[in-house]
Structure 1
Amino acid sequence: MRKLVLLIALLLPLPALAETVRLGERHYRIELPARPEGAPLIIALHGGGGDPDQFAAASGLAGAATRAGYAVAFPAGSGRRDERLLTWNGGYCCGYAMRRGIDDEAFLKAVIADAGARFGLRRQGVYLTGMSNGAILAETFAARNPGLVRAVAGVAGTMDTGSTRVRGRVPALIIHGTADTMVPYGGGRGEGSLTRTDFAPVRTVVKAFLAPWGGGIHAVSRSVDRISDGTSVRIGDYSKRGLVILRLITIEGGAHHWPGGRKARLAEGKTQEIDANAEMLRFFALHP
């Protein structure tokens, strides 16, 4: 019996490891796979008014990602009360971080360097994702630092395409709902937003990330509508030489949320058609 228990223990995956790391006056939470040495790193940015613990719990990303062999770092934005109601400076959004001109680009570079050195993670390129204000910074960082990023996934946020140019080829996944009133799919002023600036439309983000790839891009689309939840999904793939370089997932009737996440207070526009974590990991796997 003892040998059987030992054999089962050896066959089971080791549990993920979680730790909070102080980095100067700020911090990041990191969740590691069972074997972190050489693991790829995902940087996951919370939305405006959130924090690392809140986003980790609401998205459920760490569990799915660490099981797939990724490490996930959840950096903390900045706020007037330091550890609460945190935001990112994504250029035209949002809140405290934007008003104070916080250099979040430098902070993310510091997190990437520290996590790689401290935990022995893969050094050659990271994956970036974020929700809302976090998506804005994730896309902006990827656009400005293509050499550091293997792929980016933005959920319910659009970078300032009027002032940000994508400087190199970065594969991008964009997930956004057409009924999003916080960051409207077609652009413009958001209801209850932390900024009074008009947001860029999703189509301009698609155009910006496709631009560095040049010509010869092939586009196909498909629909997903298996569940009667008031939403349906359109998936548009843009490929070059057989590789999907950009995937646009449009949630018809979808509101401002992380698909598959645990945002209980959102009653409407919450799709069950897709899971953001599964879609993201599937896309990242195309760009190892």
Structure 2
Amino acid sequence: MRILALLIALVLSQPLAAETVRLGDRWYRIELPANPKGAPLILALHGGGGDPDQFAQASGLARVATRAGFAVVFPAGTGRRGDRLLTWNGGYCCGPSARRGVDDMGFLKQVIADAAQRFGVDGQGVYLTGMSNGAILAETFAAQNPDLVRAVAGVSGTMDTSRTRVQGRVPALIIHGTADTMVPYEGGQGDTSLTRTDFASVPSVVQAFLAPWGGVLAETRRSIDTRDDGTSITVTDYQRRGKVVLRLMTVQGGGHHWPGGRKARLTEGKTQEIDANTEILRFFAAHP
């Protein structure tokens, strides 16, 4: 009987299988924790040319997030080839979705409402993260909808700070490599960019998210360099009343990459110093 009870407890503690939900001609993938009712919700946005299944596999985010009690939604952008090679309209990037002015802001709101109604997760205040083009939209959505967002984490992508004002206080985590040739750290068009977008700089995104907090924020800096991988991490924290409201993790020598994720084609700038999933979940947990 004791063994049976242990087996039952083990089964009940396991995250639920991934499920695909269709919303008209759009869709999303959702992965739920063992107890989805009221679970905090993370929206994870794939990069340009990716898709929900690809990003879920490459990042590995859902596996660790669901075990920590989060529900994770991977929404799908739009494209010309069905459910693959998708992009987001992040304002100044990227691809057909931006050129056609696709209402991805409205779609994300629809996804949040549907996931809350269908699965019972908490849709009142969500977390957003994304890679590259997905980070651009995640940051833009958070900037324009601060009342809906608990915190945002952008990896290797910068929102259009020339036209986007952060309209409220949103805790933000930014992870970006200084050797990123697709979305350059200092801004401009990247040498290997698949678009002619003149990207905003990482410092401009930092200042945009700091602006609503006002006053003088305490700033601290530390370094992480424990692996012989040609990279190191500079962590800059901005604190208000002892709480980090913005964390910038600059990957010195880092490329266009989700740290800890799978990207076989990247030979240089693939840091082993940090794991993006760990850093993101730690930051989100600090802002319940």
Amino acid at match of 1:63: R
Amino acid at match of 2:128: L
**What residue ranges of structure 2 are gaps of 5+ in the alignment?**
none
1:81 shift after superposition: 1.4
The answer as to 2:5 corresponding to 1:7 is: yes
Amino acid at match of 1:250: T
Measured in 2, the distance between the counterparts of 1:254 and 1:195 equals 21
Measured in 2, the distance between the counterparts of 1:15 and 1:25 equals 28
Residue matched to 2:189: 189
Measured in 1, the distance between the counterparts of 2:194 and 2:152 equals 23
Structure 1: which 4+ aligned runs deviate by more than 3 Å? none
Deviations, residues 74-119 of structure 1 (Å, cap 9, x unaligned): 0000001121210000001000101111010000000000001100
Residue matched to 2:263: 263
Contact 1:259/1:270 (8 A) holds in 2: yes
- Please report the RMSD computed on the Cα atoms of aligned residues, expressed in angstroms: 0.9
- Which residues of 2 match residues 202-281 of structure 1 at below 5 A? 202-281=202-281
Identity level (%): 73
Measured in 1, the distance between the counterparts of 2:197 and 2:183 equals 11
- Which residues of 2 match residues 86-97 of structure 1 at below 5 A? 86-97=86-97
1:128 shift after superposition: 0.2
Measured in 2, the distance between the counterparts of 1:179 and 1:277 equals 21
Measured in 2, the distance between the counterparts of 1:48 and 1:166 equals 23
Residue matched to 1:46: 46
Secondary structure at 2:122's aligned position in 1?
coil
Secondary structure at 1:266's aligned position in 2?
coil
1:192 shift after superposition: 3.1
1:124 shift after superposition: 2.0
TM-score by length of 1: 0.98
Contact 2:15/2:31 (8 A) holds in 1: no
Secondary structure at 1:207's aligned position in 2?
helix
Contact 1:93/1:194 (8 A) holds in 2: no
- Which residues of 2 match residues 151-170 of structure 1 at below 5 A? 151-170=151-170
Amino acid at match of 2:109: K
**What residue ranges of structure 1 are gaps of 5+ in the alignment?**
none
Measured in 2, the distance between the counterparts of 1:44 and 1:265 equals 22
Amino acid at match of 2:212: P
1:16 shift after superposition: 2.7
The answer as to 2:130 corresponding to 1:146 is: no
